[in-house]
Amino acid sequence: MYRLLPGKPLVLLMSLGEPTTTLTDYGLAIIAASFSMRLFLRVRESGQTCHWLWALGFLATAAAAAAGGTSHGFRPVLEATVTVAL
């Protein structure tokens, strides 16, 4: 949404749809991605299949949390097709 404020240039005003949920989802994405990276580094040392599987699981969790944060926070400004894809 654009709004012209008196004496100010045209600015973009945007607020998050669900700020608490958005921040929680992005925080979870960061934590899960860091777990995933640590496990991927450990795979180099051990080569164990279980480390690969857990790393992939945490990576999938990070991707889902990032998509959820985007969907929850920016749904009011996203196009319908993007919202459905998320």
Tokens of 25: 């989802």
* Residue 45 in domain: yes
The pLDDT value given to residue 61 = 98
* Residue 3 in domain: no
Tokens of 4: 């012209």
Q: Residue 41 is part of which domain span?
A: 17-85
Q: How many domains does the chain have?
A: 1
* Residue 22 in domain: yes
The pLDDT value given to residue 11 = 47
Rg (CA), the chain: 19
* Residue 62 in domain: yes
With H, G, I as helix, E, B as strand and everything else as coil, classify residue 3.
Answer: strand
Q: Give one word for 10, left, alpha or beta, with left for phi > 0 and alpha for psi -120 to 50.
A: beta
71, 37, 54, 62 alpha-carbon torsion, rounded to 10°: 0
* Residue 64 in domain: yes
pTM: 0.76
The pLDDT value given to residue 6 = 60
* Residue 54 in domain: yes
Of 80, 72, 76, the C-alpha closest to 21 is: 72
* Residue 9 in domain: no
pLDDT digits (tens, 9 = 90+) for 54-79: 999 999 999 999 999 998 888 877 78
* Residue 38 in domain: yes
